[in-house]
A and B are shown apart, each in its own frame.
Chain A
Amino acid sequence: MMSRDIIDVKAETSALNTQKMWVIMGPQHPFSHGLWTLKAQLDGEIVVDAEPIIGYLHRGWEKECENRTYPKIIPMADRLCYAASMTYTHLYCMTVEKALGIDIPEKAKYIRIMADEICRIQSHLMWLAAVGTDLGNLTVFLWAMREREFFMDLNVRMCGARMTTNFPRIGGVRNDIDDEFAMFATRCVERFEKALWDIIAMVDDSSIFVSRMKGTGILTRERCANLGITGPAMRGTGVDFDVRRDDPYDNYDQMDFVVPVLKDGDSYSRYRVRIEEMFQSCKIIKQALQKVKAIGRNAPYRLKVPSKVPAGRAFMRMEDPRGESMMYLVSDGSEKPYRLKVRSPIFVNVSAAKPLVQGCRIADVPAVMAMIDMCLGETDR
């Protein structure tokens, strides 16, 4: 009797009576870059459960496309992701060209590649800026935004618009690039290759930055592949796959570049993969510029295409800055698509939020989720 009482008392005092609490981060939370919510259950500071909630920005994009003619969808595709608008437009045009069964001029292919890579650098720089603020440093944010501005100017030279560019067309691109652009682009890229080292020195040499990223958000290679995470986040986890290299579209198979892959699987390796990708993009831009120059000034850059797409199905996939995006087109022979499906990389990546942030501290949640580089326009569509 006596001893049992003692045991009971011990059991009561040893079990610290703590309650878990749900913290709702978003949609107006400074960490959520865009409108989404992360419900996190906290045990003290440690996240034990999480649930991402999206859909605040659902516009019915795919349904909307069923109501428009093919060329009218191009500016809409820009709006899928404003940070890298040309990639989605490019993807859309490729899908329609595949359904039409046409091959576009060589020059247009290289110009598109160049546009893609400019957008990739832009998007990665915006991601870098977001990482800076998520880790509590504004200097990285402003430096990255400053670098991004040069590529925005490059966009203006190329097609006259900064963000929603409306540049690729079904059958080519809207306009040719001139020598002035080539000069400007070379200078800009070479300058950037040097300037990026400033930010790298700022982040990688600081043990606080590195210790905030190292060892957080760890996934194994198999888990990452199974969860469908794509893009730099996947390559930072050890999956050696890049659509540009392994399933090339346009003329990426003629480009010489390296796909960075790191096997650590934490936030820091994802960060390093993206940084390296920016350098590789610079390399690709320079090569594409030379190819365009070799093709010559008067080569065609756009084909005339029929307004009606023959009945059938086609899909294309491409390497978006954020991951693998895909479009699937069902055509019924009319001038409007019967169904156009967009596979957005972030849509799948964000569904893996729970395994990513589980076990992290709440202070790491912004840093871990920043490595996915959220963009809600393409997620909710």
Chain B
Amino acid sequence: MAYSSILDWIQFRDMMANPFYPYDTYNLPFDISYKLWEILGGLIAWLVNLIIPGNGLSTWLISDEVSNAFALILFMVVIFLVAFVVTLLSLWMERKVLGRLMDRRGTMIGLKGFLQNVADGLKTFMKENVIPRRVDKMTYMWTVSLVIGTSVLIACMIPLSERWYVVSYGTGLLIIMAIFALAPFFILVSGWAQNNKYSLIGGMRAAELMISYEVPMLIMIATTCLMAGSFSIFDIVNMQGDTVWFFIPQIIGFITFIFCATAEAERVPFDIAEAEAELVEGWQTEYAGMKWGLIMLADYLRGYVSCAMVVIMYLGGWLIPFASDGINGLLPEVVFLTKVWIVFFAMVILRGALARVRTDQIVNIGWKVFMPLSVVNLAVVLLLKFGGVF
């Protein structure tokens, strides 16, 4: 048997030619993971072939089906890592910007304070995993897992560009919003399960918060979809490329949606479910150590998703006006994330400047301010639509 070069095993085949390729269009993260598997799998196959020449395992490892399956696993890791790093960067930005707003320096450890996040994450993982004795254990664990799980899910489902997506649904926006709105239910149940009065009140408040902002928010999403004529995220963004960014015709909706998105992410001034002044830590009171760390991560993932929704719906997604758009443009993923961080920056400024609202006030704001504004916004869009502008 002749010696086989490693290049015989790593061939960098065209993934689009693979009959099991899961997408219709080019997908960058899948490309990355497919190439990664080409290298990794090819290496293993070559090594195994060196030891036992002519075995079936090596050819199996680089066959079309198996390459695709392993590439999908790597694909998950790649997508999650990107969402995770983006979230850590938002967290770092919040700490630094908030610090500057408060006339202090913010975190200072390593890489201008970025490594502080890593240290905090490691610290929460090393904490003791305390579970109070009289909690309803199944609900207690499941609800928090579901809160974190749904948050990670939607954070991963946000497309960064036309080539960076997980699933290109025709109803992408709706599905993201549906999963986004699930967390308050789990928070409500979790507040009850913890056998703690503060948590109970916190859970109730999460539900109260949800009924106050969810309806106007959905009306505004419907408005945007009406304007674009589609529920698909790609269609909405491309429509904004063809006409104008939607925040110009929908300026009312844009401003209202930013506040709704802040409420959705449960950030100041709408963080009544975890109001630390009166409710200790709200519904998170009894979660210790790693669980709390993951809840914090989920919070920031939700913040990232909220900002991403604003960018997709109103700020033209990954497009830049008057620049070549599409896949070959100016790194559309970076453009998208930059816009997300700009919106997040606005949220940080809000947090630095405002106090927490009261529960009755948030219901008032939701139904007496946001609701009429969203309806007015809808009316404006309907007029534009009938007038033939869009």
Please judge, given known A-B contacts A23-B197, A212-B358, whether A206 and B278 are in contact too, CB under 8 Å. Answer: no
Contacts A137-B355, A143-B102 aside, 7 further interface pairs with beta carbons under 8 A come to A136-B269, A136-B356, A137-B268, A137-B353, A208-B361, A362-B278, A363-B358
Please judge, given known A-B contacts A136-B269, A364-B358, whether A29 and B280 are in contact too, CB under 8 Å. Answer: yes
Is residue B272 within 8 Å, beta carbon to beta carbon, of the partner chain? yes
Is residue B135 within 8 Å, beta carbon to beta carbon, of the partner chain? no
A-chain residues with CB within 8 Å of residue B276 when the two chains form the complex: 30, 136
CB-based contact B357/A208 at 8 Å: yes
Please judge, given known A-B contacts A137-B354, A202-B353, A212-B357, whether A363 and B104 are in contact too, CB under 8 Å. Answer: no
CB-based contact A363/B352 at 8 Å: no
Is residue A156 within 8 Å, beta carbon to beta carbon, of the partner chain? no
Is residue A31 within 8 Å, beta carbon to beta carbon, of the partner chain? yes
CB-based contact B103/A142 at 8 Å: yes
Report Cα–Cα, A8/B356, bound state, in Å. 44
CB-based contact B102/A142 at 8 Å: yes
Report Cα–Cα, A212/B364, bound state, in Å. 13
Within 8 A of A (CB), among B345-366: 352-361
Report Cα–Cα, A375/B103, bound state, in Å. 27
* A contact set with B: CB distance below 8 Å: 21, 23, 25, 29-31, 42, 45, 132-139, 141-143, 146, 202, 206, 208-209, 211-212, 361-366
CB-based contact A211/B361 at 8 Å: yes
Is residue B277 within 8 Å, beta carbon to beta carbon, of the partner chain? yes
Please judge, given known A-B contacts A363-B275, A366-B277, whether A206 and B359 are in contact too, CB under 8 Å. Answer: no
3 smallest CB-CB distances across A and B, nearest first, come from: A136-B356, A135-B355, A142-B102
Please judge, given known A-B contacts A136-B355, A139-B353, whether A362 and B201 are in contact too, CB under 8 Å. Answer: yes
**B 248-270 to A, binary, CB cutoff 8 A, 1 in contact else 0:** 00000000000000000000110
Residue of chain A at shortest CB distance from B99: A142
Q: How far is the CB of B274 from chain A (nearest CB, A)?
A: 10
B-chain residues with CB within 8 Å of residue A21 when the two chains form the complex: 197
A-chain residues with CB within 8 Å of residue B271 when the two chains form the complex: 136
B-chain residues with CB within 8 Å of residue A135 when the two chains form the complex: 277, 355-356
CB-based contact A212/B355 at 8 Å: yes
From the candidates B98, B101, B268, B278, name the one contacting A25 in the complex (CB within 8 A).
B278
From the candidates B103, B198, B359, name the one contacting A23 in the complex (CB within 8 A).
B198
B-chain residues with CB within 8 Å of residue A208 when the two chains form the complex: 269, 354-357, 361
Report Cα–Cα, A45/B197, bound state, in Å. 12
CB-based contact B198/A138 at 8 Å: no
CB-based contact A136/B268 at 8 Å: yes
CB-based contact B355/A209 at 8 Å: yes
Report Cα–Cα, A29/B279, bound state, in Å. 8
Report Cα–Cα, A137/B276, bound state, in Å. 11
A-chain residues with CB within 8 Å of residue B101 when the two chains form the complex: 139
From the candidates B102, B279, B280, B361, name the one contacting A138 in the complex (CB within 8 A).
B102
Query: For B104, B276, B355, which residue has the most chain A Cβ atoms within 10 angstroms?
Result: B355
CB-based contact B197/A146 at 8 Å: no
B-chain residues with CB within 8 Å of residue A29 when the two chains form the complex: 280
